[in-house]
Chain A
Amino acid sequence: MKPVDFAYARPMDVTAALSLLAEAGPSAKVIAGSQSLGPMLNLRLVQPGLVIDITHIAELRLVEERPDGISIGACITHADIEDGRVPDVAAGALRDVAHGIAYRAVRNRGTIGGSLTHADPSADWITMLAALGASVTLRGAAGLRTIPVEDYMLGALEADLRPGELLVSVTVPRLGRAARWGYYKLCRKTGEFAHAIGACVVDPERGVCRAVIGATEARPIVVADARHLIGDGTQEQFDGPAVDELARASGMEDAIVRQTHVVALRRAVAGAAHR
């Protein structure tokens, strides 16, 4: 279980990284925290000719707080967020979710950009950031584009990352003062990937009521207007059968799998109500 022989580059700015990517073409692989790519390299599931380490690019570690939200550089680690080095504009949701990812050793290295690009359905960020209405900004030869987090994930282990593009930042909207959020992850042991995740954000000021069913087989199920499922989030107006039906309609065939996802969302909502 050793990787193939590959070349290694450590560009110091995004422009340099992009031109390396353009030169090397499909045989190049970007590496950030290496927590997902590392094992894949070792298992030779990926066999790149060039690995481009982006963790020394200062730009990708920038955090920019604005009145309406925050932009987080792609190479910000889970630990940066957990420790509060990144202002939490989401009323504690970012810190809480970061804290629940894997073990500290993984959080010290794993990045928010890497997690979203790796696009593992059971990862934490994809589900919570979708609930928060976050977006990602990508930069390539053709310039910048910004898309919702849930659209960035195309399917299991597949992100909408075009050849030559880098994910540069993640933008999270600021929650209103009355906003509540809930997050519930089902897994058997610390550091195990989730079997079911439920997440919800209710922000009356901004008219937001979002619910997400995560850790599915593929993309999370994102309900942008979830009032019919979770009510106003102040009390338990949770409609289990409707959530079950939604999951079924989204292709979740197995009754036990559906049940755990319904429970996860129910508990996320209950948690939000008590916040």
Chain B
Amino acid sequence: MTGQGVGASARRREDDRFLRGRGQFVGDIRLAGMQDVAFVRSPLAHATLRGVRIPDAVRSRVFTAADLAGVKPIVAVSGLPGFKKSEQPVLAHDKVRQVGELIAMCIGPTRAEAEDVAATVTAELEELPAVHDMLAARARGSALLHEHWGDNVFLETFVDIGIEAAFDAPIKLTRRISTARQCMAPIEGRGTVAYWDNRMEQLVLYTGSQMPHIVRTGLAECLGLMQTQVRIVSPDVGGGFGYKGILLPEDICLGWLAMRCGHPVRWLEDRREHLTAGANCREHDYDITVYADRDGTLRGIDCEATVDSGAYSSYPFSACLEAAQVASILPGPYDFPSYRCRTWSVATNKCPILPYRGVARTGVCYALELMLDLVAREAGLEPFEVRMKNLVRPEQMPFDNITNKHFDSGDYPQALRRALAAADLEGIRARQRRGEPDGRLIGIGIAIYCEQGAHGTSVYAGWGIPMVPGHEQATARMTPDGGLELRVGVHSHGQSMETTLAQVAHEILGIDIDRIKLVHGDTEYTPYSTGSWGSRGAVMAGGAVATAAREVARLAAEIGAHLLQADPRTVTLRDGAVYGPSGSVTLAEIAHVWYRRPQDLPVSVDPRGLEATIGYKPGRDSGTFSYAAHVATVAVDPQTGDIEILDYVIVEDGGRLINPMVVDGQIYGGFAQGIGTALYEEMNFDASGQPLASTFADYLLPGPTEVPAPHLHHMETPAPYTEFGVKGLGEGGAIAPPAAIGNAVNDALRTLGAEVLQSPMTPRRVLAAIAAAREGTA
């Protein structure tokens, strides 16, 4: 480690512009002649659209589905058998299936004026019964969203791995556990600026995107353009969390409009649109039974899981990624012999469910970890003892679990032991026995998960969705002054890639990271990539950058050898220079010769110069497995239901860390979101499918005062199959907090006989649980 390479907590290069307010987000882009767009959205969750009335005075500024002839709907299929396809219209024509669905698009010189126009447009809607409850939606006789399906189920999956063998277990516990529907709420919402570039014969679309290349492909297909005719530019992105991986109907509308109207157009999502019309995630329901022996050994898990997928299958992840993943990841980091799981991805009259940091894992971890605590209670054991009995042990690694997940490495029990020691389990138990002077109840809860990241072709080919990641490519190119350009197709939406990928290249070439420039976020300048999702950036783009940098190193060494008049086999590259038996030459000198004094090069010089574009895949593409043990200590006020987090410990193993400070940042951010899931965030709907929150006054996010500083510890078990031993870990912080906090809350409530099995664990739910226990209805 040189202080800038892999393992260094280098300062973030992005921060200078961000902290000075000089970032350039979509909302900062100003183009001459640009007009704003406001949408007419459906006020109803489910209705037949009879027509759209547009006053003559504004007719030229309003566009409906009738105008968009030839534009194709968004179709995101899954190859899983039985998947039912939905067509998400760009603008609604015959029917609307969610509140907020686009009906018309209106332009004006400013957003306010565009909204004035929108206010004069009337959608003639005939209300249909709304489907708002995913369990009822599964039942025969429910109203149907997509009539020709015959039911409301996008996909049902089933796996049974010898569940009968568990039926004679002495402990059998069944619960219904659920997680609320949430909104992702990045600081920056969605937004799009589009124009037609006559010189390039190209639609240029600026949009904060995690996956610019995927958006380009999807957009071109919907608009019937060649992909060379579409350029996606994703400038600075103020948080994505999955929402900015999605191709929205709004993007397609703006693209179409830009081609038609001859001037740039812009749509900036406002917070009401964000909360009521997009960005939905997380709503799971589990009917789960756990079988165990008296000593806490898990015998089997039997689960029926339902995910509320909303009205349409969104592009590119589809409507079933969430539920189908539940079946494969529910077993968590545990080793047990019997398993059965049935899942449903159900269509309802809500916004499509989208993948949010921790996709499916947060719900799964909540369900499983809550159940393991109940097993412990039933067996008279400490919750950690049940984990210790069942966690995959280090000597079993690499380990193929019951659903064939390949755990690459790690010491899960060790992480738990360290977390318990840091949280002072003994001390908390003693404190519980003493009681609190203020009458509050103390509880401690643990949760462990493993996070599959950077899973590649072999995993995604099975899902059969519009996007399957293959080799990740990067370009490394020296500049004439000895600097380095890196080009990658992933895009940073807060991951600090401008810093960390420069560190990777520095590790190999020794070029100062201030002289390494990352080019990303523009389909015109970067290699194709599925983009930033699934905790894959460090592993995939990091591996690709390392591979490309190594190739440049090899090319430079050859030129260096020539300049040193040495045999290429005798030279080495280190600290930014090529060393031969009798002298050295810097990379800057080598670059100078290649670009500016080619006359000094031999005729036999490798014509590739100092530039390489190469693809990378880890030795196995089944994914890296980072993991963590979280321990929460909470105080519950049994009179008000208030929950305070007193202490929080995280012991995380993300393999080799490229930049530990950046990793800490990722974990802190995820942790804050996990607290949101655990305690605050909930998008409710009424029976007519109306979303009940439309501002941050009624959709609660944790703020600085609600997020305590967690105690963070690292283990670094290198991944066996990746460059440097790096593992993906971007999502982990958001996975375990609901489970750890939930277990802590239930530990606190144990003396009252109450349990809360639904997130967020609001004061009302806590009080209701206490009341139910008191009345014996629990």
User: What residues make up the interface of A, taking CB atoms closer than 8 Å to B?
Assistant: 1-5, 39, 43-44, 186, 188-193, 195, 255-256, 259-260, 263
Residues of B within 8 A of A189 (CB): 680, 700, 702-703, 705-706
Contact status A260-B763, CB under 8 Å = yes
A5-B112, A188-B679, A256-B768 given. 10 additional CB < 8 A pairs? A3-B112, A43-B272, A186-B763, A188-B706, A189-B680, A189-B700, A189-B705, A193-B697, A256-B771, A260-B763
Partner among A3, A39, A188, A263 whose Cβ is within 8 Å of the Cβ of B639: A263
Contact status A263-B640, CB under 8 Å = yes
The binding surface of chain B is classed by DSSP as helix
The B243-287 residues at the A interface (CB cut-off 8 A) are: 270-272
- B390: min CB distance to chain A, Å: 35
Partner among A43, A190, A256, A259 whose Cβ is within 8 Å of the Cβ of B703: A190
**How long is the Cα–Cα vector from A236 to B695 in the complex, in angstroms?**
40
A2/B700 contact (C-beta < 8 A), A195-B763, A263-B640 known: no
The B705-745 residues at the A interface (CB cut-off 8 A) are: 705-706
Contact status B771-A255, CB under 8 Å = yes
A1/B270 contact (C-beta < 8 A), A188-B679, A188-B680 known: yes
Residues of B within 8 A of A1 (CB): 115, 270-272
A190/B705 contact (C-beta < 8 A), A1-B270, A2-B111, A260-B767 known: yes
B642 interfacial contact with A, CB 8 Å: yes
Residues of A within 8 A of B641 (CB): 260
- A266: min CB distance to chain B, Å: 8
Interface 1/0s, chain B 744-764, versus A by CB < 8 A?
000000000000000000111
Contact status A5-B703, CB under 8 Å = no
Q: Which residue of A lies closest to B766 (CB)?
A: A256
Residues of B within 8 A of A3 (CB): 112
The binding surface of chain A is classed by DSSP as loop
- A202: min CB distance to chain B, Å: 22
Contact status B640-A5, CB under 8 Å = no
Contact status B768-A259, CB under 8 Å = no
Q: Which residue of B lies closest to A39 (CB)?
A: B695
Partner among A39, A43, A186, A192 whose Cβ is within 8 Å of the Cβ of B640: A186
B116 interfacial contact with A, CB 8 Å: yes
Contact status B767-A256, CB under 8 Å = yes
Q: What are 13 A-B pairs at a CB distance below 8 A?
A: A1-B115, A1-B270, A1-B271, A2-B115, A43-B272, A188-B642, A188-B680, A188-B762, A190-B703, A191-B703, A193-B697, A259-B639, A260-B767
- B771: min CB distance to chain A, Å: 7
Residues of B within 8 A of A188 (CB): 642, 679-680, 700, 706, 762-763
Q: Which residue of B lies closest to A47 (CB)?
A: B119
The B668-711 residues at the A interface (CB cut-off 8 A) are: 679-680, 694-695, 697, 700, 702-703, 705-706
Interface 1/0s, chain B 494-518, versus A by CB < 8 A?
0000000000000000000000000
Contact status B116-A259, CB under 8 Å = no
Contact status A260-B640, CB under 8 Å = yes
**How long is the Cα–Cα vector from A2 to B695 in the complex, in angstroms?**
14
User: What residues make up the interface of B, taking CB atoms closer than 8 Å to A?
Assistant: 110-112, 115-116, 119, 270-272, 639-642, 679-680, 694-695, 697, 700, 702-703, 705-706, 762-764, 767-768, 771
Residues of A within 8 A of B694 (CB): 43
- A42: min CB distance to chain B, Å: 8
- A39: min CB distance to chain B, Å: 7
**How long is the Cα–Cα vector from A263 to B680 in the complex, in angstroms?**
21
Q: Which residue of B lies closest to A260 (CB)?
A: B640
A192/B270 contact (C-beta < 8 A), A2-B115, A255-B771, A256-B771 known: no
**How long is the Cα–Cα vector from A271 to B216 in the complex, in angstroms?**
61
- A63: min CB distance to chain B, Å: 30
**How long is the Cα–Cα vector from A188 to B645 in the complex, in angstroms?**
12
**How long is the Cα–Cα vector from A35 to B771 in the complex, in angstroms?**
38
Contact status B767-A2, CB under 8 Å = no
**How long is the Cα–Cα vector from A263 to B639 in the complex, in angstroms?**
7
**How long is the Cα–Cα vector from A256 to B641 in the complex, in angstroms?**
10
Tell me which of B115, B270, B271, B639 has the highest count of chain A C-beta atoms within 10 A of its own C-beta. B639
Contact status A259-B112, CB under 8 Å = no
**How long is the Cα–Cα vector from A4 to B270 in the complex, in angstroms?**
16
**How long is the Cα–Cα vector from A191 to B705 in the complex, in angstroms?**
10
- B773: min CB distance to chain A, Å: 14
Contact status A4-B272, CB under 8 Å = no
Residues of A within 8 A of B111 (CB): 2
Contact status B112-A2, CB under 8 Å = yes
- 7 closest A-B pairs by beta carbon, nearest first, are A2-B112, A1-B270, A190-B705, A263-B639, A256-B767, A189-B706, A2-B111
**How long is the Cα–Cα vector from A193 to B695 in the complex, in angstroms?**
13
- A124: min CB distance to chain B, Å: 15
- B396: min CB distance to chain A, Å: 43
Q: Which residue of A lies closest to B702 (CB)?
A: A189
**How long is the Cα–Cα vector from A191 to B111 in the complex, in angstroms?**
29
Residues of B within 8 A of A263 (CB): 639-640
- A2: min CB distance to chain B, Å: 4
**How long is the Cα–Cα vector from A106 to B744 in the complex, in angstroms?**
34
- B266: min CB distance to chain A, Å: 13
Residues of B within 8 A of A190 (CB): 703, 705-706
**How long is the Cα–Cα vector from A188 to B119 in the complex, in angstroms?**
36
Residues of A within 8 A of B271 (CB): 1
Residues of B within 8 A of A193 (CB): 697
- A82: min CB distance to chain B, Å: 17
Residues of A within 8 A of B642 (CB): 186, 188
Residues of A within 8 A of B272 (CB): 1, 43
Residues of B within 8 A of A5 (CB): 112, 116
Contact status A256-B764, CB under 8 Å = yes
**How long is the Cα–Cα vector from A44 to B115 in the complex, in angstroms?**
10
Residues of B within 8 A of A191 (CB): 703
- A154: min CB distance to chain B, Å: 22
- A198: min CB distance to chain B, Å: 11
**How long is the Cα–Cα vector from A43 to B271 in the complex, in angstroms?**
11
- A237: min CB distance to chain B, Å: 18
Residues of A within 8 A of B762 (CB): 188
Residues of A within 8 A of B695 (CB): 39, 43
Q: Which residue of B lies closest to A259 (CB)?
A: B767
Residues of A within 8 A of B767 (CB): 256, 259-260
**How long is the Cα–Cα vector from A5 to B110 in the complex, in angstroms?**
12
**How long is the Cα–Cα vector from A21 to B115 in the complex, in angstroms?**
27
Partner among A4, A255, A256 whose Cβ is within 8 Å of the Cβ of B116: A4
**How long is the Cα–Cα vector from A33 to B642 in the complex, in angstroms?**
31
Q: Which residue of A lies closest to B767 (CB)?
A: A256
Residues of B within 8 A of A186 (CB): 640, 642, 763
**How long is the Cα–Cα vector from A207 to B497 in the complex, in angstroms?**
68
Tell me which of B112, B680, B705 has the highest count of chain A C-beta atoms within 10 A of its own C-beta. B112
Q: Which residue of B lies closest to A255 (CB)?
A: B771
Residues of A within 8 A of B115 (CB): 1-2, 44
**How long is the Cα–Cα vector from A188 to B115 in the complex, in angstroms?**
34
**How long is the Cα–Cα vector from A39 to B697 in the complex, in angstroms?**
10
- A243: min CB distance to chain B, Å: 13
Residues of A within 8 A of B703 (CB): 189-191
- B111: min CB distance to chain A, Å: 5
**How long is the Cα–Cα vector from A190 to B679 in the complex, in angstroms?**
14
**How long is the Cα–Cα vector from A39 to B270 in the complex, in angstroms?**
13
Residues of A within 8 A of B270 (CB): 1
Q: Which residue of A lies closest to B273 (CB)?
A: A1
- B616: min CB distance to chain A, Å: 44
**How long is the Cα–Cα vector from A39 to B272 in the complex, in angstroms?**
11
**How long is the Cα–Cα vector from A43 to B119 in the complex, in angstroms?**
12
Residues of B within 8 A of A259 (CB): 639, 767
Q: Which residue of A lies closest to B110 (CB)?
A: A2
Q: Which residue of A lies closest to B763 (CB)?
A: A188
Residues of A within 8 A of B116 (CB): 4-5
Q: Which residue of B lies closest to A4 (CB)?
A: B116
**How long is the Cα–Cα vector from A263 to B119 in the complex, in angstroms?**
46
Q: Which residue of B lies closest to A191 (CB)?
A: B703
- A13: min CB distance to chain B, Å: 31
**How long is the Cα–Cα vector from A192 to B639 in the complex, in angstroms?**
19
- B420: min CB distance to chain A, Å: 29
